[in-house]
Amino acid sequence: MGEVSIVIEKLREAKARQRALLWLKFKSNKAAFISLCILTFIFLLAILGPYMVPESPYDFNLSRALEPPSLNSIFGRDELGRNILSRVIVGSRFSIGVALLSVLLGGCIGVLLGLVSGYIGGKVDVVIQRFTDILLAFPTILLAIALISVLGVGIGNLIVSIGVSTVPIYIRLSRSLVFQIRSEDYITAAFALGKSGRYIMFRHVLPNILPAIIVQSTYYMGLSLLLASGLGFLGLGVQPPIPEWGAMIGSGRTYIYSSPHVIIFPGLFILISALCFNLTGDGLRDALDPRIKVMIRRAG
């Protein structure tokens, strides 16, 4: 028992050193580290936003409509006299929340189908790949528009539409990653020991492709945010009076020349968030095992 405890303790220490090394590698990428700090701030806004806004984002005052930025209203006011700072802060909860949930939904479905397709192969692989080809025949934004048009507007339907529209991307990625590792020695050894296909898929294959999936999901967070904002701009996303960055730009586009501040600030938050997700993904990719970079490059 003493020897087992020593081995377990050494394994824990090795994992702790590995995590510390990973964090040091990530911090050495200044752009990625700063982007992570900015994203952390934006996520805190999304969580704590309703409790820290200067005034309600729903209260309007037509006498102050289109008021430019000032000390009293740092971001100014929109066409209904609502405080843009308050709406941007509260809108982060909906914009980031929709992006996060849609990535989780699309990732879970896509990775599961890609895992089954890549490991089982045969007719199952053919059926899943033909389904993927059909979905990939449509641009992601058009597929999302088609789905939201069928399902109807609403936050839940928006998440489903964006999530489903990204499913074929995850299927292709995870299937390619499975192809790269399914012939590894530890997979062959597990099969030789009589382990079931389900056990091998979820105990050996999935954990080894998961780091690459997480890295790519960071990029897809930016994509999902842009999709949600685009649908909101078109009036197919989060519906008024709920503040959402894309919808704010859509409602304020009429005043782009006379009062540009109405669309500048939500647009900046979309730009900064999407850029930070991409830079953070770059940092994660560089910090992880170099083999993962090769896997992602081959899968792409």
Tell me the pTM: 0.87
Residue 264's domain comprises: 36-299
pLDDT 10s digits, 174-201: 998 888 887 777 777 877 777 777 888 8
Residue 42 lies in a domain: yes
Q: What is the pLDDT of residue 119?
A: 87
Residue 16 lies in a domain: no
Instruction: List, as one string, the DSSP characters of 114-138.
Output: HHHHHHH-HHHHHHHHHHHHHHHTS
Q: Choose among 45, 197, 190, 180: nearest CA to 120.
A: 197
Q: What is the pLDDT of residue 52?
A: 86
> In CATH, what number is assigned to the domain containing residue 155?
1.10.3720.10
Q: Across-strand partners of 77? A: 83
Residue 8 lies in a domain: no
Query: What's the mean pLDDT when you consider all of the chain?
Result: 87
pLDDT 10s digits, 61-112: 899 999 999 988 899 999 999 999 999 999 999 999 999 999 999 999 999 9
Q: Looking at residues 54-62, what average pLDDT do you find?
A: 89
Residue 65 lies in a domain: yes
Per-residue DSSP letter, 62: G
pLDDT 10s digits, 146-162: 999 999 988 999 999 99
- End-to-end Cα spacing for the chain: 47
Side-chain-side CA neighbours of residue 216 (13 Å): 25
Residue 4 lies in a domain: no
- Asked if 68 contacts 76 with a C-beta cutoff of 8 angstroms, the reply is yes
Question: Six-digit token pair at 281?
Answer: 């993904």
Q: What is the pLDDT of residue 293?
A: 55
Confidence of residue 296 (pLDDT cuts 50, 70, 90): low
Residue 7 lies in a domain: no
Is residue 297 over pLDDT 80?
no
Q: What is the pLDDT of residue 166?
A: 92
Q: How far is CA 180 from the centre of its chain?
A: 25
Residue 172 lies in a domain: yes
- Asked if 66 contacts 255 with a C-beta cutoff of 8 angstroms, the reply is yes
Is residue 290 over pLDDT 70?
no
- Asked if 205 contacts 178 with a C-beta cutoff of 8 angstroms, the reply is yes
For residue 56, which phi and psi values (nearest 5 degrees)?
Answer: -60, 135
Confidence of residue 204 (pLDDT cuts 50, 70, 90): confident
Which of residues 95 and 14 earns the better pLDDT score? 95
Is residue 118 over pLDDT 60?
yes
| Residue 186 CB coordination number (10 Å) | 12
Question: Six-digit token pair at 177?
Answer: 């990653």
Q: How many domains does the chain have?
A: 1
Answer whether the bond into residue 168 is a cis peptide, omega within 30°. no
Q: Looking at residues 19-28, what average pLDDT do you find?
A: 81
Q: What is the b/e burial string over 12-34, where b = at least 16 CB atoms within 10 angstroms of the residue's CB?
A: eeeeeeeeeeeeeebeebeebbe
